[in-house]
């Protein structure tokens, strides 16, 4: 048996022994005696009697170990022209000061702090400052509009919000502060204070009595910096909202102890990144990839992490990624396939690659959406390094299926993110909950308990956690993805079986877009489906049925609906096309057959489902949908 097979078998046969050993990777204040609390299924908790501090594990311990002067974070921002390095010692100083400021603003252990920031080091500083004092951060991606931000404010009820005057997108400066003010206006729960990072590109107006600048907060905090407090391993570290099938996002709760153990384990065993290495996750702190592999995991491992405020193309050109790799000696790059598709579209022969020395790069990891064979082949060919797909979700926080490069590099199979990661007992189940034979498609499920680092529950909603993930098959977590496992144990992920879509690696809910379309007075019924897109993987398309007797110009209506989605959900929805149709295909129980509609757009036809109410609707729709 190879190292992978042996390790995987042990993690499943003796999970407590396996995770007891892995706990040695973390500095505990009170080390765990009990490893798993399984007294309240389907709720499981790891390291229930232990205490630690996440920020200590990410920063202070590396200073103690002699890495004070090593860069912890390099901020590289082609959109502002800044490159700024913060060493581990500087990070401890900044984070302790900001944590002190939060404390002076009344933030106590367990209180929430919402962070709505672009890709600046202050985002990581704010996250780690929360961890330092046991506060719970809720980071919201900057591309979301005020209404979406308001929903997240009301769900997490933050005492303090940390934001910025603006974000910088290639073609425009995005004013964050007016969006924040509007969101606070819309939300029922009001923060007691807002800390605003004033960026030189655009200064924001402050609300007297509520807002203070980041610089002012740091001045307060420097006078009274905060140390690391002990929190229970099971205490929440953060809430991260992600799209579900309904409009209401799910607040994924991550704990402190399991998260520190699992992420640290993943760095050595999956990503093969250790102390002194340079990891660049080209994503955003607002997404789970950013939480795990821009901020926490590289710092737990004592590596250097790159925070990149730019795009793969246009900042200034399709050689941007190669420039960053060369300039910062990046060992490992992690991004979404869509970024490589964007580069390939502009520079198909990768001519710009020759202008940069990218020899430091050892591995390219891709995740966030299906890795299509063309992109896999192109990236492998131009870079000449292993291109490693890995499959996971906001819920799990770290890979479920991957090629464990540190543990034992396994052969790569295009189309598959490789094998089950130790700790995850992945099974393919059929409709009756029976295990599907090898190479047969079904629902990808994970036998409980999930390993450390995965979601503990949904914020304030245990019932929804059980209903969403644990009730379809007793004793299993339902991933929401369909797929199969072949004879060699390689997992193939085919895509979501629900109404969640993936646009440019961003997870979005068609339900929330439908809710916006349905608000328009001319719209009787609507459906949003995710159709294939060459660049972004999927693209949302809206289909609306008009109320009877309503007379509108289709183009005017479409423009209004597109503008509505942009202003209510955000630019990130990338919602650009709406078609007026006479009817929507439905089952006899009234459920809209979105999958059939998607098939028609993608392939020109669909198998007529036996449950369809009126098959002629599909015939009429086929020419209109494409």
What residues have CB less than 8 Å from 368, skipping those under 6 apart? 283, 287, 289, 336, 337, 338, 502, 505
User: Which positions from 87 through 116 interact with ligand AMP, judged by CB under 6 A?
Assistant: none
> Per-residue contact track with ligand AMP, 282 to 301, x per CB under 6 A?
------x-------------
Q: At 463, give phi and psi (nearest 5°).
A: -65, -40
Measured from the CB atom, the residue of 278 and 444 that comes closer to ligand AMP is 444
For ligand COA, which residue of 42, 143, 191, 453 counts as binding (CB under 6 A)?
143
Name the minimum Å distance from CB 20 to ligand COA.
32
Binding flag, residue 452, ligand AMP (CB under 6 A): no
For ligand AMP, which residue of 15, 48, 221, 417 counts as binding (CB under 6 A)?
417
Three-state SS annotation for 326-363: HHHCCCEEEECHHHHHHHHHHCCCCHHHHHCCCCCCCE
Q: At 136, give phi and psi (nearest 5°).
A: -110, 120
DSSP-derived secondary structure letter, 572: G
Distinct helix (H) and strand (E) counts, the chain: 20, 32
Q: Does residue 92 sit in helix, strand or coil?
A: helix
Measured from the CB atom, the residue of 94 and 507 that comes closer to ligand AMP is 507
Residue 393 CA to residue 55 CA, distance in Å, equals: 23
User: Which positions from 555 through 574 interact with ligand COA, judged by CB under 6 A?
Assistant: 571-572, 574
For the chain, the residue count is: 626
Binding flag, residue 368, ligand AMP (CB under 6 A): yes
For ligand COA, which residue of 169, 181, 235, 395 counts as binding (CB under 6 A)?
169
Binding flag, residue 370, ligand AMP (CB under 6 A): yes
Phi-psi map region of 504: left, alpha, beta (phi>0 left; psi -120 to 50 alpha):
left
Binding flag, residue 389, ligand COA (CB under 6 A): no
Binding flag, residue 369, ligand AMP (CB under 6 A): yes
Pick the stretch among 200-208, 332-340, 356-364, 580-588 that binds ligand COA (CB under 6 A): 332-340
Binding flag, residue 544, ligand COA (CB under 6 A): no
Our measurement of the distance from residue 3's CA atom to the centroid of its chain's CA atoms, rounded to an integer in Å, reads: 30
Asked if residues 452 and 46 have their Cβ atoms less than 8 Å apart, the reply is yes
Name the minimum Å distance from CB 309 to ligand COA.
9
Longest dimension (CA), the chain: 75
Three-state SS annotation for 417-447: CCEECCCCCEEEECCCCCECCCCCCEEEEEE
For ligand COA, which residue of 504, 526, 546, 617 counts as binding (CB under 6 A)?
504
Measured from the CB atom, the residue of 317 and 408 that comes closer to ligand COA is 317
User: Which positions from 465 through 484 interact with ligand COA, judged by CB under 6 A?
Assistant: none
Residue 273 burial (CB count, 10 A): 28
For ligand AMP, which residue of 507, 520, 541, 598 counts as binding (CB under 6 A)?
507
Name the minimum Å distance from CB 508 to ligand AMP.
9
Name the minimum Å distance from CB 510 to ligand AMP.
13
For ligand COA, which residue of 148, 235, 284, 539 counts as binding (CB under 6 A)?
284
Asked if residues 227 and 96 have their Cβ atoms less than 8 Å apart, the reply is yes
Pick the stretch among 177-185, 201-209, 364-372, 554-562 that binds ligand AMP (CB under 6 A): 364-372
For ligand COA, which residue of 23, 324, 336, 445 counts as binding (CB under 6 A)?
336
Name the minimum Å distance from CB 243 to ligand COA.
13
* Residue 504's binding partner out of ligand AMP, ligand COA, none, with CB under 5 to 8 Å set by partner kind: ligand COA
∠ CA 384-385-386, rounded to 5°? 130
∠ CA 42-45-47, rounded to 5°? 160
Name the minimum Å distance from CB 125 to ligand COA.
18
Binding flag, residue 342, ligand COA (CB under 6 A): yes
Residue 512 CA to residue 568 CA, distance in Å, equals: 10
Binding flag, residue 367, ligand AMP (CB under 6 A): yes
Half-sphere exposure of residue 616: CA atoms within 13 angstroms, side-chain side: 1
Which residues, listed in sequence order, are joined to residue 211 by a DSSP beta bridge?
Answer: 194
Measured from the CB atom, the residue of 170 and 460 that comes closer to ligand COA is 170
Binding flag, residue 502, ligand AMP (CB under 6 A): yes
Measured from the CB atom, the residue of 166 and 625 that comes closer to ligand COA is 166
Which residues, listed in sequence order, are joined to residue 546 by a DSSP beta bridge?
Answer: 523
Structure tokens at 370: 């299906």
∠ CA 191-192-196, rounded to 5°? 80
Give, in order, the Cα–Cα distances in Å from 516 to each of 106, 218, 553, 592.
37, 40, 19, 17
* Residue 118's binding partner out of ligand COA, ligand AMP, none, with CB under 5 to 8 Å set by partner kind: ligand COA
Using CB under 6 A as the binding criterion, the count of chain residues that bind ligand COA stands at 25
For ligand COA, which residue of 142, 298, 537, 542 counts as binding (CB under 6 A)?
142
For ligand AMP, which residue of 393, 416, 454, 596 counts as binding (CB under 6 A)?
393
* Residue 480's binding partner out of ligand COA, ligand AMP, none, with CB under 5 to 8 Å set by partner kind: ligand AMP
Binding flag, residue 268, ligand COA (CB under 6 A): no
Binding flag, residue 405, ligand AMP (CB under 6 A): no
Residue with tokens 């479409």: 558
Asked if residues 288 and 238 have their Cβ atoms less than 8 Å apart, the reply is no
Binding flag, residue 509, ligand AMP (CB under 6 A): no
Binding flag, residue 148, ligand AMP (CB under 6 A): no
Residue with tokens 């969006």: 179
Structure tokens at 129: 């400052």
- Judge residue 411's burial from the number of C-beta atoms within 10 Å of its C-beta, 0-12 exposed, 13-18 middle, 19 or more buried: exposed
* Chain positions contacting ligand AMP, by CB under 6 A: 242, 288, 367-371, 389-391, 393-394, 417, 480-481, 493, 496, 502, 507
* Chain positions contacting ligand COA, by CB under 6 A: 118, 142-143, 167, 169, 174, 282-284, 287, 289, 311-312, 335-336, 338-339, 342, 368, 504-506, 571-572, 574
């Amino acid at each position: 048996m190879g190292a992978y097979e042996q390790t995987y078998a042990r993690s499943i046969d003796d999970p407590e022994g396996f995770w007891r050993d892995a706990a040695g990777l973390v500095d505990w204040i009170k080390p765990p005696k009990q490893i798993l609390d399984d007294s309240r299924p389907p709720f499981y908790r790891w390291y229930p009697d232990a205490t630690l501090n996440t920020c200590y594990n990410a920063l202070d311990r590396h200073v103690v170990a002699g890495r004070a002067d090593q860069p912890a974070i390099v901020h590289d921002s082609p959109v502002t022209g800044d490159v700024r390095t913060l060493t581990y010692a500087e990070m401890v100083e900044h984070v302790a000061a900001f944590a002190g400021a939060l404390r002076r603003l009344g933030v106590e252990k367990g209180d929430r702090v919402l962070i709505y920031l672009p890709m600046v080091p202050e985002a990581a500083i704010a996250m780690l400052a929360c961890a330092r004092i046991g506060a719970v951060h809720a980071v919201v991606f900057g591309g979301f509009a005020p209404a979406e931000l308001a929903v997240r404010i009301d769900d997490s009820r933050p005492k303090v919000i940390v934001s910025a005057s603006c974000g910088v997108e290639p073609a425009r400066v995005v004013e964050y502060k007016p969006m924040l003010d509007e969101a606070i206006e819309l939300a029922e729960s009001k923060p007691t204070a807002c800390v605003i990072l004033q960026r030189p590109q655009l200064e924001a107006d402050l609300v007297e009595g509520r807002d203070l600048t980041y610089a002012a907060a740091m001045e307060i905090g420097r006078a009274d910096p905060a140390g690391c407090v002990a929190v229970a391993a099971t205490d929440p570290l953060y809430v991260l909202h992600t799209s579900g099938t309904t409009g209401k996002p799910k607040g994924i709760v991550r704990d402190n102890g399991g998260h520190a153990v699992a992420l640290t384990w993943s760095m050595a065993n999956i990503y093969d990144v250790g102390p002194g290495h340079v990891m660049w996750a080209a994503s955003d702190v607002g997404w789970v990839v950013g939480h795990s592999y821009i901020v926490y995991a590289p710092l737990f491992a004592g590596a250097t992490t790159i925070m990149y405020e730019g795009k793969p193309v246009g900042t200034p050109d399709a050689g941007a990624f190669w420039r960053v790799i060369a300039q910062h000696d990046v060992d490992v790059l992690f991004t979404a396939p869509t970024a490589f598709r964007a580069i390939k579209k502009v520079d198909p022969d990768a001519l710009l690659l020759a202008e940069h020395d990218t020899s430091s790069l050892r591995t390219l990891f891709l995740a966030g959406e299906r890795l299509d064979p063309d992109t896999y082949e192109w990236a492998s060919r131009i870079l000449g390094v292993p291109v490693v797909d890995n499959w996971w979700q906001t819920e799990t926080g770290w890979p479920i299926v991957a090629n464990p490069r540190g543990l034992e590099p396994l052969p790569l199979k295009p189309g598959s993110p490789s094998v089950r990661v130790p700790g995850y007992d992945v099974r393919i189940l059929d409709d009756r909950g029976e295990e599907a034979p090898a190479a047969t498609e079904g629902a990808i499920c994970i036998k409980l308990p999930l390993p450390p680092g995965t979601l503990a529950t949904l914020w304030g909603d245990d019932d929804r956690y059980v209903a969403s993930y644990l009730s379809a098959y007793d004793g299993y977590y339902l991933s929401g993805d369909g797929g199969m496992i072949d004879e060699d144990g390689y997992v193939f992920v085919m895509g979501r079986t629900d109404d969640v879509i993936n646009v440019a690696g961003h997870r979005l809910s068609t339900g929330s877009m439908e809710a916006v379309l349905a608000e328009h007075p001319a719209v009787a019924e609507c459906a949003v489906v995710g159709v294939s897109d060459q660049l972004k993987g999927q693209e949302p398309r809206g289909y609306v049925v008009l109320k009877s007797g309503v007379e509108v110009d289709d183009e005017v209506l479409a423009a209004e609906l597109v503008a509505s989605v942009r202003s209510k959900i955000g630019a990130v929805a990338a919602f650009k096309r709406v078609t007026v149709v006479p009817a929507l295909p439905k089952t006899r129980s009234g459920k809209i057959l979105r999958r059939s509609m998607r098939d028609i757009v993608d392939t020109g036809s669909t198998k007529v489902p036996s449950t369809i109410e009126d098959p002629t609707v599909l015939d009429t729709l086929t020419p209109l949908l494409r």
